[in-house]
Structure 1
Amino acid sequence: MNEHGEEEQTAFEIVVVVPKRTVKEGDESCDCVEVLVEEFRKVGLIVDRVFGLQDEFIKLAAPLEKLGRAAAELQIKKRIHIGVDLPFVWEEFEAFARQPDGLLFNWCERFHCYHHIIYGIVNKSQSVITLNFDGKKFHWKIGESILQKLESEGIVKQVFPLHDELTRKQLLRNWALNWRDITMQPIDEIYSYFGTKIATYFAFLGMYTRWMLFPAAFGLALQLVDFGSLQLLMLPVFLVSMVLWAVLFFQFWKRKNSALLARWQISHSVGADPGYKGFDMEWSSLQSPVELIRKWSIDQTKGKEVVQREEWFGCLMRFRNDAIVILSIICLQLPFELTYAHLYEVIGSDILKFGLTAIYLFAIQYFTKIGGKLSVNLIKYENNENTEYRADSLIYKVFGLYFMQSYIGVFYHALLHRNFKTLRQVLIQRLILSEVLENLMENSLPYLRYSYKKYRTVRTKKKRDKGLSSGKIRLTSRVEKEYLKPDYSASIGEELEDGLFDDFLELALQFGMIMMFACAFPLAFAFAALNNVTEIRTDALKLLSMFKRPIPRASATIGAWLNIFQFLIVMSICTNCALLVCLYDEEGKWKIEPGLAAIFIMEHILLLIKFGFSHIVPEEPAWVKANRMRNATQAQDMCSKQLLRSISGNEKLFAEVAKTE
């Protein structure tokens, strides 16, 4: 804390990576790296330079005042003490509420302030400046960002956030390596360190794992206890219980998510890009009356026809892209998946089955990559509102590929051949072997990539020195070690915004597997619960130790994944009722006898329960809703009074607007 009662923000949080130079003495004039460092200092950043084996690392920190003024320029909306979200004003910073960790800005806001500061450094001189880098000369134009210029010239290799070593070690002790609390996690600390989206994922994973204990115990009892003549009756009871469990879980997750947003002081207008000007236009009425009236005039001049044309064109493009993806899945992927499932059924040799599966797994890697790239290219032509909407649209399309790949073979064994022995074998393979292998791969591949980069860096250094250096060459700086770590990105392609795609995809595929075939293998819930307990710690460990610190995302819900989970619940009702029909109708005559009729009736009842219970349990706790309504009322009163004062005190307002028309 300084003399004004504000905390000092001096920890190094951003790193700019440039190659090491071979500048001779007396030849440093207009060296671009020196100019860049000097510009960083001019704007008020604290700079520390670290020289590694091959690269130079420019670590940056910013005092709180510098971040505050950047937040004011970005018009980041922050909550004041009376609960209203207003554009941040540095001179009135004491009026704004603090974060759970006591800081004025959360990690997402700080990161975007840094981004605004460093990329906002432009050539303000009256002439073009010639910069030099190891004999290479280029021009820095007037008004051009120096960081973007150096990135385009390949001089700035990367800009990435730096781990805070003290906080990272504390999270390792209290979270990643803390096995005493099986599902409990320090969510507020995770939010402060990684941002909203990653904290929301771990909050969802922890709650999902805790709720999984009930179906795991029920499924284990069905597997171990012999109910005699009631055994077949227990399966419909188990199915009804699982559907109720899934519906209630997601309703209570929505309540928990709302409570988290309220605790983290995040507005309900989620899904918007973080903290930029016009953040979701939630409080646009706080603009000056002149700006509002001008905007209304422009909108009227533009006409609703243009707006409607853009709206329908965007809908048409989304429909076209969805149709292309669906037809590609049906015409290309479906025959491939059915061919594999049929060959797996008719082949008798286990060795041949193993070889067939190996070929299949190798082939589907190309299917998913091709499908992912196709979806990315299609998304570019959609009129999505912001980054999160674009990411959700991409998730829907790519998940369709994985859905067909993961479940069509299981449907084939269960419904066409009615081979429940093979069905259980496939489920065991997918749940145990695939999840174990996935955990090993997702935790070992980042380490192997890091080790390989480290080996190449040391080897290149040895070649450059040509034996001149004595002793063993090794990395000494922490920042260089972090630079060599891989980015937290999706395995299918870096276009999928961040690595949470893989983590959510794993949960969604697991949920679909255990729910859609619950009657065939109730024990699957116990395997899933055990895997998720381990998943919490392994995911925490890879984020803290194996990857660079991820770029924070502003999304405060699980987004498109919630709709995917809801879709899987509906699918599970249909598939499990079909499985029960297969179990009761052993002759395959499909007669509408009392038992089979009861199953069809149960299916409709479960669908009614699914959609009925979604309205019984409120999605938002009463205290959160009351606070939100109170804040909205206060904001409306404040805006109304401000608008009236501005209009009554400015007689020239409408005259000024009239002149601009």
Structure 2
Amino acid sequence: MNGIEEEDPIVFEISVVVPRRNLKLENEGFDCVEVLVNEFRNVGFFVDRVLGLHDEFIKLAAPLETLGVVAARLHMKKTTHIGVDLPFEWEEIEAFMRQPDGSLFSWCERFQCYRHLIHFFLIEKNSDVTLKFDGIEIQWEPGEALLQRLELEGIVKQVFPLHDETKRNKLLRSWALNWWDLISQPIDEIYVYYGTKIAVYFAFLGMYTRWMIFPAAFGLILHFVDFGSLKLLVFPAFFISIVLWAVLFFQFWKRKNSALSARWHLNFSVGTSHGYKLSGREWNCLQAPVELVKGSGIDKTKEKEDLQRYEWFGYLRRFRNDVIVILSIICLQLPFELDYAHLYEVIESDIMKFGLTAVYLLVIQYFTKIGGVRSLFYAVIYWWVFYHALLHRNLMILRQVLIQRLIFYEKQEKARGRFDWKDTICYQGGEKST
């Protein structure tokens, strides 16, 4: 086809494992393995057969044109050069962007095409076909996928992807054995070869390792350097910096994750999203379970059981999320409360104690906004009063802490209300003037 680059050398990417036969039929037209191999060739595969000690390995490779036709048949969405996701069309191949390594399809997209070709070619005859394998007769019925039938009969043992030795050796040299550059990783090559999940995992691992340099260096300094009397201030500063480091790392990782998704043209369409099984049917997370049940025509008892099961799963997920949130709040708040309690007990001046309380509350509020939970400050700021009560065991100190917090909170609310009132007056005055 005009405008299409020359195809790469044939690379076998899928292997089908069948037992090695003891008997060979005179008429190979009825041998189920021979029929399977012929069907593979008919749909466009290149086939290579390798005999092992106990099994036979049928290796499959699909040319670019075959994959393109299947991708168009599946209405696979790909990103164009203008940034729009459109269903793939083989005739408009030059309009679609290629992968970081120059290939048209990623491994996940190729695997979808392979899966469709392997599992969904059907018998075209109107009557059953009798196939044989080592004296066993198998009925291949109309409308039945041959590979699935052979899997049920135990003739096809496994279907698994094969390694591409050229790409694997390239990754081995540029990644695993690259001792000169321990920081960077060929993330794009990892994505093309291993897929999205493994690439994102190693991207996170690399970023986390680089970011760990700061707390590791800070911790070594605290371990080997004697700060003397400044130790009372250095350790609280270390705890606060670690919490700030964790919050910033989480925010920067979200940005990097979004950048990787945009670079790899990942979309979360219905066909690729996670689904659940409901009464033997696929249920996508974008589809309401009630709509699925109504359209399935199942009996009322089964419908009730499925809806109750879904409701209880919702309760369990909500309980899990609540536990995670509470533990996160404790992990975020505890270092600040420990530092605050320690400094509050050491400082003797009441004015400095009030200033410490004000700075402490402002820092907590600022970190909470960075973390993305606006109501966290108001929800947990008084939880730790019980902690101070158990720590000091002094009602006068506890009373002083409560009064200072309430005074600062009241001043902050008045300042915020005055600011909102001024904005409202300015806004109304602008409307009247117009």
**Length-normalised TM-score, structure 2:** 0.70
8 Å contact kept, 2:243–2:332: yes
1:262 corresponds in structure 2 to 262
The offset of 1:573, in angstroms, is 2.1
The offset of 1:172, in angstroms, is 0.6
Relative CO higher for 1 or 2, CA cutoff 8 Å, sep ≥ 6? 1
Say yes or no: does 1:608 pair with 2:365: yes
Give the SS at the match of 1:22: coil
The offset of 1:313, in angstroms, is 6.1
Kindly tell me: are residues 598 and 246 of structure 1, through their superposed partners in 2, closer, same or farther at Cα, counting changes over 3 Å?
farther
Correspondences of 1:172-251 after superposition (within 5 Å): 172-251=172-251
Q: Distance in 2 between matches of 1:597 and 1:144?
A: 79
2:134 corresponds in structure 1 to 134
8 Å contact kept, 1:41–1:47: yes
Q: Distance in 1 between matches of 2:342 and 2:154?
A: 64
Q: Distance in 2 between matches of 1:271 and 1:184?
A: 34
| Number of aligned residue pairs | 349
2:397 corresponds in structure 1 to none
Aligned-partner residue type, residue 335 of structure 2: N
Q: Distance in 1 between matches of 2:53 and 2:361?
A: 67
Give the SS at the match of 1:8: coil
The offset of 1:19, in angstroms, is 1.1
Q: Distance in 1 between matches of 2:353 and 2:19?
A: 72
8 Å contact kept, 1:573–1:607: no
1:118 corresponds in structure 2 to 118
Q: Distance in 2 between matches of 1:62 and 1:56?
A: 20
Kindly tell me: are residues 95 and 155 of structure 1, through their superposed partners in 2, closer, same or farther at Cα, counting changes over 3 Å?
same
1:8 corresponds in structure 2 to 7
The offset of 1:576, in angstroms, is 3.1
Percent identical residues:
53
> Which residue among 286, 306, 312 is the counterpart of 1:317?
312
The offset of 1:232, in angstroms, is 2.5
Correspondences of 1:526-537 after superposition (within 5 Å): none
Kindly tell me: are residues 575 and 222 of structure 1, through their superposed partners in 2, closer, same or farther at Cα, counting changes over 3 Å?
same
Correspondences of 1:20-39 after superposition (within 5 Å): 20-24=20-24, 26=26, 28-39=28-39
Give the SS at the match of 2:130: strand
C-alpha root-mean-square deviation of aligned residues, in Å? 3.9
8 Å contact kept, 2:78–2:85: yes
The offset of 1:84, in angstroms, is 0.5
Give the SS at the match of 2:30: coil
1:273 corresponds in structure 2 to 272
- Write the deviation string for residues 358-413 of structure 1: whole angstroms up to 9, x where unpaired: xxxxxxxxxxxxxxxxxxxxxxxxxxxxxxxxxxxxxx89xx8xxxxxxxxxxxxx
What runs of 5+ residues in structure 1 fail to find an aligned partner?
A: 283-297, 303-308, 327-395, 401-563, 587-592, 617-661
Kindly tell me: are residues 135 and 100 of structure 1, through their superposed partners in 2, closer, same or farther at Cα, counting changes over 3 Å?
same
8 Å contact kept, 1:109–1:275: no
Kindly tell me: are residues 581 and 137 of structure 1, through their superposed partners in 2, closer, same or farther at Cα, counting changes over 3 Å?
farther
Q: Distance in 1 between matches of 2:49 and 2:96?
A: 34
1:340 corresponds in structure 2 to none
Aligned-partner residue type, residue 5 of structure 2: E
Aligned-partner residue type, residue 166 of structure 1: T
Aligned-partner residue type, residue 228 of structure 2: G
Give the SS at the match of 1:155: coil
The offset of 1:583, in angstroms, is 7.3
Between structures 1 and 2, the one with greater helix share: 1
Aligned-partner residue type, residue 570 of structure 1: I
Give 1 or 2 for the bigger CA radius of gyration.
2
8 Å contact kept, 1:15–1:59: yes
The offset of 1:611, in angstroms, is 2.8
Q: Distance in 2 between matches of 1:193 and 1:567?
A: 39
2:159 corresponds in structure 1 to 159
The offset of 1:164, in angstroms, is 0.4
Q: Distance in 1 between matches of 2:126 and 2:16?
A: 27
Aligned-partner residue type, residue 609 of structure 1: Y
Correspondences of 1:292-311 after superposition (within 5 Å): none
The offset of 1:312, in angstroms, is 8.1
What runs of 5+ residues in structure 2 fail to find an aligned partner?
A: 276-283, 296-303, 374-434
Kindly tell me: are residues 230 and 274 of structure 1, through their superposed partners in 2, closer, same or farther at Cα, counting changes over 3 Å?
same
Say yes or no: does 1:47 pair with 2:59: no
1:576 corresponds in structure 2 to 335
The offset of 1:100, in angstroms, is 1.4
Q: Distance in 2 between matches of 1:96 and 1:135?
A: 50
8 Å contact kept, 1:121–1:145: yes
1:374 corresponds in structure 2 to none
Aligned-partner residue type, residue 262 of structure 1: A
The offset of 1:275, in angstroms, is 12
Q: Distance in 1 between matches of 2:307 and 2:274?
A: 28
The offset of 1:322, in angstroms, is 4.1
Aligned-partner residue type, residue 368 of structure 2: F
8 Å contact kept, 2:240–2:335: no
Aligned-partner residue type, residue 610 of structure 1: F
Q: Distance in 1 between matches of 2:355 and 2:136?
A: 80
8 Å contact kept, 2:340–2:360: no
1:554 corresponds in structure 2 to none
8 Å contact kept, 1:577–1:599: no
The offset of 1:319, in angstroms, is 2.8
1:517 corresponds in structure 2 to none
Kindly tell me: are residues 206 and 43 of structure 1, through their superposed partners in 2, closer, same or farther at Cα, counting changes over 3 Å?
same
The offset of 1:195, in angstroms, is 1.3
- Write the deviation string for residues 319-368 of structure 1: whole angstroms up to 9, x where unpaired: 34448x87xxxxxxxxxxxxxxxxxxxxxxxxxxxxxxxxxxxxxxxxxx
Aligned-partner residue type, residue 313 of structure 2: R
The offset of 1:258, in angstroms, is 1.7
Kindly tell me: are residues 271 and 173 of structure 1, through their superposed partners in 2, closer, same or farther at Cα, counting changes over 3 Å?
farther
Q: Distance in 2 between matches of 1:171 and 1:69?
A: 30
The offset of 1:92, in angstroms, is 1.6
Give the SS at the match of 1:49: strand
8 Å contact kept, 1:67–1:110: yes
8 Å contact kept, 1:581–1:596: no
Between structures 1 and 2, the one with greater strand share: 2
8 Å contact kept, 1:17–1:158: yes
Q: Distance in 2 between matches of 1:128 and 1:597?
A: 88
The offset of 1:614, in angstroms, is 3.9
1:75 corresponds in structure 2 to 75
The offset of 1:597, in angstroms, is 9.5
**Length-normalised TM-score, structure 1:** 0.47
- Write the deviation string for residues 222-255 of structure 1: whole angstroms up to 9, x where unpaired: 1111111221322221121111111111111111
The offset of 1:163, in angstroms, is 0.6
Say yes or no: does 1:148 pair with 2:148: yes
Give the SS at the match of 1:183: coil
